[in-house]
Amino acid sequence: MPEYTINMDWDADAKVWCAICDDIPLALESGSFDALIERVKIAAPEILALNGIASECTLHFVADRKIGVA
């Protein structure tokens, strides 16, 4: 079963989480980390199927959030 890495980054200016995977291709955003994961779980198989690729896969989420502290 293929595995796809979903990069999850926090956009501090827009105050949203962004999910990006060039291999699917997928780009989504949400103000909630958990809501974004749920959106990706639904959208990724649909995008793969629309592109003629088997939709059964494993999604690996990698998150990055940088916070400056004084």
12-69 pLDDT tens trace: 999 999 999 999 999 999 999 999 999 999 999 999 999 999 889 999 999 988 888 8
pLDDT computed for residue 20 by the predictor? 98
For 8, residues 6+ apart whose C-beta sits below 8 A from its C-beta are 17, 18, 19, 33, 36, 37, 61, 62, 63, 64
pLDDT at 17 (0 to 100): 96
User: Can you tell me the distance from the alpha carbon of 29 to that of 34, in angstroms, rounded to the nearest whole number?
Assistant: 11
Two structure tokens written together for 1: 């079963």
What gap in Å lies between CA 7 and CA 17, rounded to an integer? 10
33: tokens are 């980390």
